[in-house]
Structure 1
């Protein structure tokens, strides 16, 4: 009986640990970062249900978005997808802006892109990413290739609730950064006059020589932190149970 109870506790603990996972994705790279400036780092992450994915807007100065799309149309907003809007970061911005989404269906691949147009469309330049990509032909490499051949980059504005993941709030934007929202997709498929240029004029938004990142995260890494205090308690429970047995 004691053993079965302990096994039950381990199952509950494993579920709780999974729900306490977090994934950090940097939005923008440095000029000397392998892969260039216009990228998400990492651009391919695995996140089970309940995982909180934090996007850190790290290009200083720069301007990017996290906009959900689809594999077939990598540079167009997905109907009903999530969208951070544009985040413009001026020099010396601290702390960096962040935006979080929570994974709700880890069996659904989540594709996203940056819809900034200046100095050239970031999506077409390769600034795309995916979460929970399934093995097969629809790989991150194939997604990037599709983006590179896209004729345009959609500017419509979606909301917080997406497909497979959702945000509960708008991005956290500190002093020194500005949050811009375009026209809702339901009203227009094109951002307002200030959507792409005001949200990211070529002199201040993500120019290839000006954008930078403060994270230094390797592009192939998937940073993940589990609630360490919880694991300590779990190990203590295990040790106590072994003594009883």
Structure 2
């Protein structure tokens, strides 16, 4: 068997029948490719870095994207990510790879599932989502109420117009809850759907507590159920968009 091996990251590709080493220019990491036969490849494979998915942490053996979830593959060697990725992804992956360096792939998955919930929270993203939610709801309420009063006679709104404005505000609030949760998850820069659900839910939780200051205890519980669910869904959507459109 013949292979082309990257001089930079150690990744390799087995040449199929009819393929030539000259058919390949550079590795996905930008390193130069070198032709090797099967004997040399066996010794090279011992030092070859692992290809771990930056999303689900599953180990892959070739390719650019994970065969399980489609996440971007990262080359990890000696506990460090050596591919060209952003700072946050590199630090997170290096931390996980250090804990998994003496374990097999199954242990890596267990470690990820048992991660502390507080490590998954990105407070900057959560606060950004809450701030957007509060400001957008306040502005929407002001515009709808102002429009209802300005279109009525003698400064008193028509009852039907007031009901319409109230219902429109409720529907708009539900839509804004999804956007706020998605914003929190997107800003967190995570690619894990669990992280998105947690950060998104926290936006609805905090907003419900603030709402309860004016509406009482009952509004807190209702808000957590309604807004918490919607912002959590928004968080999952935010992670989906990041995984799909951000390299």
What range describes the TM-score normalised by the shorter chain of this pair? under 0.3
Structure 1 or 2: more strand by fraction: 1
Ranked by relative contact order (alpha carbons within 8 Å, sequence separation 6 or more), the top structure is 1
Please say which structure displays the higher CA radius of gyration.
2
TM-score (norm. length: structure 1):
0.21
Structure 1 or 2: more helix by fraction: 2
TM-score (norm. length: structure 2):
0.21
